[in-house]
Structure 1
Amino acid sequence: MADKERRGNFFEDFHLDQVIRHGTPRTVTEGDASMYVALTGSRAITHSSATAAQELGFTSRPIDDLLVFNIAFGKTVPDISMNAIANLGYAEARFLCPVYAGNTLHCESVVIGLKENSSGKSGVVYVRSTAYREDDHPVITWVRWVMVHKRVQGKTASTPEDTARKAASKEHRVPALSAFVPTDKLLPHARLRSSEAIQELGETTGSLDFWEDYAVGERINHPSGATVEEAEHMLATRLYQNNARPHFDALAMRDSRVGRRLVYGGHVISVCRALAYDGLENVLSILAINAGTHVAAIVAGDTLYAYSEVVDKWKLPGRTDVAALRLRLVGLKNTSPSKVERAIEETDGVPAYHPGVVLDLDYTVLMPRAQGARLRHS
């Protein structure tokens, strides 16, 4: 009989242009949305208030963008990163359409790059993953690259199949990725019908800071911290159906360098984005994740803080009611933003991340346009 032990894919199992259809579609529910709020503290207005969402042109309250991302990411784990050493980065993530309670998501990935490490013990796998609704309409697509163990240590292929795969690929390939998602690829779905609607939104969120009120280069220190508890990050990882060993298996992690389960990086993004609400209250949705790096691991008991920097701001073609802000979200571990002057510092001329930095995320959000000064004095 065939071997039914599911060990996941090792580096040798991937080949260029391989298409992987991931199992177990997931129907997203209102319960999932409520659990996500409980685990992250998210206050994003579009995902918190059905009334506000309908005023913004949605049929009902859409599921939080990062909950969709984390659920879709979880679908890919058994095939892509079951044997991962580290998830190295993200790029070119685009949020294509709203997801509502009752939608069922399925996911597939295409291998777009491979690079064996010089040690011969592992390699980096680049995949472009896409999640679809039940009607096969795409809802989110993203690129990530992950370092994966080899089944057999060493550079020499161990089987005829491995040799054939290497020969077929001719050479390993590192894909060229865009520095950011351009405006013509951004899909804003929220709509504000009038200046009165913008005023009402500001009253609902408690902030009258809109797109015009942010300046390129501006930094916002978010005041609150959030301590990540063991039960919380384990519940979150189960909510996302992410069964990667580093986050799930305490016994397997006992002999690791850290010696404990690691908090899933996507959950770190979610918590840091929830902390970033203060100062960015009128963000309507995430349009893109341009790049992302998990700089360091966190474990239960660590306290997360965050600050944001405005990288750029763009008007959107054909839209006068909303525009885009490109932000840099820096997540910190056990360190207040006021104590970190910059994320990357130089020591003896060598740039390196500040020891408190755990997350460096470049993403683009949708923000209402308004004459902030006029609203304040009206």
Structure 2
Amino acid sequence: MLLLIPGPVMTHADVRAAANRDIAPWDHAVRGEIGSLLNRLRILAGGIEGIHAALPLPGSGHFIIEAAIRTFVPPAKDQGQDAGGGILIPGSGQYAQRMMRLARAAGRRVVALDVPLDQPLDPALVDAAFTADPTLTHLGMVYSETSTGIIHGPQAVGAVVRKHGRRMILDAVSAFGALPANIAAHPEIDALVFTPNKCLEGLPGFSLCVSPIARLLERQGHADSWSFDLADLYQNGLENGHGAARFTPPIQPMAALHTALDRLDAEGGPPARLRRYQDNMATLYDGMLALGLKPCLPRALQGPIIMNVLAPESDKWDLQVFVETLKRHGVLISNFRNTDAPSMRIGAIGAIDRADIEKAVLAMGRALDELGLRR
């Protein structure tokens, strides 16, 4: 089955094979392997030894986002009241909305910023929001918003955050490993968060954060949680050795990520991977047009990770029926949509190339014909 979803993505056989063994996570040799993995990820994120640290947390990307919010964003002083402080979150799509929910559930004040869903985030909007509310401490931003497929680059927005002396939590879950990421060039970032099962082409099971060590030391004991305290996670490494886990880690996916990073290095690093994904997306975009379908975003704004495509204008259209029909032709896409209008989400990332996308387009054409939906 060819997976064309934004994650977990198609993986190489060598990556899967690396997880096919029993591993004792508390063994000192394994602890060293975990420490080595975290060093590789810190370097990949542009982190500097002794200045930044990479931290792993069991669970999906939502887990590490919640941990970052709890660790770095101060809690509201007066529950239910507008007491100042808090985090500004541009409402760029479903995953921004989820960040808002995580923050509110953690007792943090959230200020939602209304932004167009089909445009990159305008730094001027962030500038105006921080000017209007000088008590806000953080910006929470989704780098690659897979509910729409658009990219919100952190460069210009980060400059605004620095200008106001605020901090940033950057959700790079579906961006890291392909899109540019350099935390050393962004001193405003408290947490650069990501997972292994997107552009890194690893297995799901844990999430990761790269943060400034000084900020981790400042925020000890502020998470209102033990499991989600990144400062405590860092302190555990200081006390028990780099790579030591507090609780049983997802050790097989960690072992697989070592192999996935080897493959990333062999490919030429994130720039080369991005070029492959861009080629995949260009092939997919052309293919959708050839099928008579319309992508939700114009080509100039279409990101390389995932595409939203408007459904055929037909009373026969049913997304789940189309997904099941397409599966019989060997291709799996997302079985839910994030747009108001009927649409479908198709991924272009993972261990796939242009030939796989071309096969998928042919399969989609056959599925449309089978369902009487082809124009």
Q: So what's the TM-score if we normalise by structure 2?
A: 0.24
Higher RCO structure, 1 or 2 (CA under 8 Å, sep 6+): 2
Greater helix content: 2
Greater strand content: 1
